[in-house]
Structure 1
């Protein structure tokens, strides 16, 4: 998870550097900004980074599904979706790199539109399936835990976190599909947002689950500012001295004649009395 988080951080930084360099060259270095930004093929590197971010983020989610369920057959469909994302994403990046410099609207032509729609649709479906599987399993664990624990379940905050991050990512993909299918240039804005939302959502899952694990191990939260009166009492060992023992025999008359054979000999450790009880 640490390697995946660092990789997502590097990819999101590369995405921002590519955007900054694109803006610098378009408005500062080039002689004609309209001619420069009309060439969509200059976004090839940024599109490749966006594809890698999607693949790494979905791989983390599928890996967590396998870790929680421990059954490879359940994650087969998300894995096939991940492979479809890799194929459609690669063809999308390649078709965009081959577009002529005829303006920003050229990205909505039929061939590129087909691959781009397939890429974002597969990303949405795969994310929805993997998130649903993981959330359902965590919900089952939460329900079982409520039967055994009087306090809150440890799976409940992770369940809420998974659902919130999955909903955020899914809504962003829906916005991307909506703007792209309507042939709106605002799709470029949403695509730049996706390049940062993907690392934010999946790094949030990694960091929050690690914080919960650390909180369970140390019995204190990282961001809990509780005073001495708010802390739970800590159980300490206590010495108990027994100097008196009382045995209540409520019905001696019902004892059998051979009760002596079934008698329990109880001896007080701290005294010298011996009790013979039926």
Structure 2
């Protein structure tokens, strides 16, 4: 089947695009670590999220290093460039890293779903999908490692069905888990919106989760299409996904942290300006008319029979009739 792009051209484009995405991933990783640790004591630090962020960044770094070495070996060190890139078994390590990235990213998403719902039965189907991803992915990586000088064999029926099953299962699991998580957040948002005067803080998190889920699902769908059409552009898409996984994870964490800092800032501004705002509201003058004042001397009956003004002021009881009106 005629290809729309050669393997060499696809690999060059893949390393360029992956390097750009890796730069974005590195920047977001730094912000993620800062947002997870800034102004938090040891009890407030989400250690699991830090470990997940570090693991995904490490896998993404390994992915781009392996790709860079592959390009170096192919174009610089190899005597026959075409023959070198025809041997797709050299991609085994990169494929294994990619599968680990996928499993870690999906595991985090499923864990988030469980934390939000607090019900194990909600994540049963996503967990089954995760196991299916692990099985199909492991078999796909092993099968590709057995191929050598026939790159088109990866798209043939026997091999292609495992590859397509892997990506189809991944798309289904990701869409299902994201939908379950988004539905719960939407329900909470609807409930809090009825009792809050302002927009619920859950809404921005809901939006970014849906956007990241859509981005990841679209990249997987693109990869599935390239596999179905047996296009060498799959080399480009798979390297992109290797960096999209940590990017989407960091985006969710960073966006949530921005909400936390935004809430603190707004609360601080309110506490500093709330009194002055109330005092600055223009009010109509209040006119007070005292019609009658009655003073009862509690010193009557004392032996001296005389009371001083200071004693009257301290011990006397005053009854006043006050009429207030707005002028």
Using the size of structure 1 for normalisation, the TM-score is 0.79
Residue 179 to residue 67, structure 1, CA distance change in 2 (3 Å): same
Over 3 Å counting, the alpha-carbon distance change for 1:208 and 1:220 in structure 2 is farther
Quick one: which of 138, 150, 161 aligns to 1:114?
Answer: 161
CA deviation digits over 1:151-180, x for unaligned, max 9? 110110001001000000000011000011
For the residues of structure 2 that align with 1:145 and 1:234, how far apart are their CA atoms?
Answer: 26
Partner of 1:100: 148
The one of 94, 102, 122 aligned to 1:46: 94
Deviations 1:186-241 (A, max 9, x none): 111111111111111112112221332343345479xxxxxxxxx54644599xxx
Equivalent residue for 1:13?
61
Q: What CA deviation, in whole Å up to 9, does each residue of 1:134-162 have, x standing for no partner?
A: 11011111111111000110110001001
**Aligned match of 2:76:** 28
Is it true that 1:272 corresponds to 2:317 in the alignment?
A: yes
Cα deviation digits, residues 35-81 of structure 1 (max 9, x gap): 10000000000000110111111111111101111001001111111
- C-alpha separation between the residues in 2 aligned to 1:2 and 1:187? 31
The runs of 4+ residues in structure 1 deviating greater than 4 Å are: none
**Matched residues in 1 for 2:115 and 2:265: separation?**
23
Q: Deviations over 1:74-131 (max 9, x none)?
A: 01111111111111110010000001312x2121122221111111111100100010
Alpha-carbon distance between aligned partners in 1 of 2:98 and 2:68, rounded to the nearest angstrom: 15
Distance in 2 between the 1:166 and 1:54 partners?
Answer: 13
2-side partners of 1:183 and 1:87: how far apart?
22
**Cα pair distance change 1:97/1:220, threshold 3 Å:** farther
**Normalised by the size of structure 2, how large is the TM-score?**
0.68
Please identify the structure whose Cα radius of gyration is greater.
Answer: 2
Structure 2 counterparts to residues 44-193 of structure 1, below 5 A:
44-102=92-150, 104-193=151-240
Match of residue 4 from structure 1: 52
Higher helix share: 2
Equivalent pairs counted in the alignment come to 236
SS of aligned partner of 2:256: helix
1:272 Cα offset (Å):
3.1
The answer for unaligned runs of 5 or more in structure 1 is 222-230, 239-243, 247-269
Q: Is the 8 A contact 1:5 1:206 kept in 2?
A: no
Taking only aligned residues, the RMSD between alpha carbons, in angstroms, comes to 2.4
TM-aligned CA distance change 1:31 to 1:220, over 3 Å: farther
Structure 2: state its 5+ residue gaps.
1-48, 279-287, 291-314, 321-327
What SS does the corresponding residue of 2:122 show, helix, strand or coil? coil
Q: CA offset at residue 271 of structure 1?
A: 8.1
SS at match of 1:64: helix
